[in-house]
Amino acid sequence: MSDELSAARRRLLRGKRPSSYSLGRGDEKTKRMEFEEFTKRVRKLPRHGLWRYGQAGDLPGEGDTIDPVQLIELAKANQNRPVIAFTHKPPTEENLEALQQASDLGFKVNLSADNMAEADEFCDLGVSVVVVLPLEYSRKTKGKEWLETITAYKERTKSLPKTTPKKRRIAVCPATYTDTRCSECRICSNHERNGIVVGFPVHGSRKLKIKTG
């Protein structure tokens, strides 16, 4: 798992998160109760509102393992609501099977890759992929303010690779260089995106606020 990508995503997810949840830590009983409470809350989310799973954590399961039972419970609780979900857990056979079962129930998850070559590896598995991008892809900031204009940013980054080594298109998350909201973009919840890999620049996030609402 990339700490950089996790940190980048945490920065991205700051701000208003009206429909976001993450699992807590504690002993098994506590975690189980928290999970059940969590799925109850998921069931009560608006039927068509986009929400974001796992602001600070990952899919249920210890370490690199996805707990298939809890993931299915989560998928059933979600009842096909549009959701943005990521995992850094590796695409082992067992994890992929759990992800497929959840996907069949309408709960689709993006696999997080640490670099473009790994993004290609994950895409070859037929899953949706996001990737951490190098610093150069970031729009410069100072505190919470943009330090370069959008025109200057686009000019500076226009020569950077826009595809993976296997020529899959990279789409830089627009919330990392504009004030776009996830509800306007939605690409991370769209799993029919023709192999587009969503990229998150590792730094320069302007204390980024990706807004789901």
Q: Return residues touching ligand SF4 (CB under 6 A).
A: 84, 173-175, 180, 182, 185-188, 198, 210
Structure tokens at 4: 């950089």
In the bound state with ligand SF4, the residue whose beta carbon lies nearer, of 70 and 112, is 112
Six-digit token string for 170: 């990279």
Least gap, CB of 26 to ligand SF4 (angstroms): 28
Q: At closest approach, how far in Å is the CB of 42 from ligand SF4?
A: 19
* Least distance between ligand SF4 and beta carbon 181 (Å): 7
CA 36, chain centre distance (Å): 23
Of residues 156, 84, 158, 162, the one with CA closest to residue 119: 162
Rounded CA gap, 38 and 18, in Å?
Answer: 15
Closer to ligand SF4 at the Cβ: 35 or 86?
Answer: 86
For ligand SF4, the closer of residues 31 and 82 by Cβ is 82
Q: What is the 3-state secondary structure (H, E, C) of 27-83?
A: CHHHHHHHHHHHHHHHHCCCCCCCEEECCCCCCCCCCCCCCHHHHHHHHHHHCCCCE
Query: Smaller CB distance to ligand SF4: residue 123 or 210?
Result: 210
Give me the least distance between CB of 31 and ligand SF4, in Å please: 27
Question: Residue 39 or residue 87: which is nearer to ligand SF4 going by CB?
Answer: 87
CB of 17 to ligand SF4, least distance (A): 12
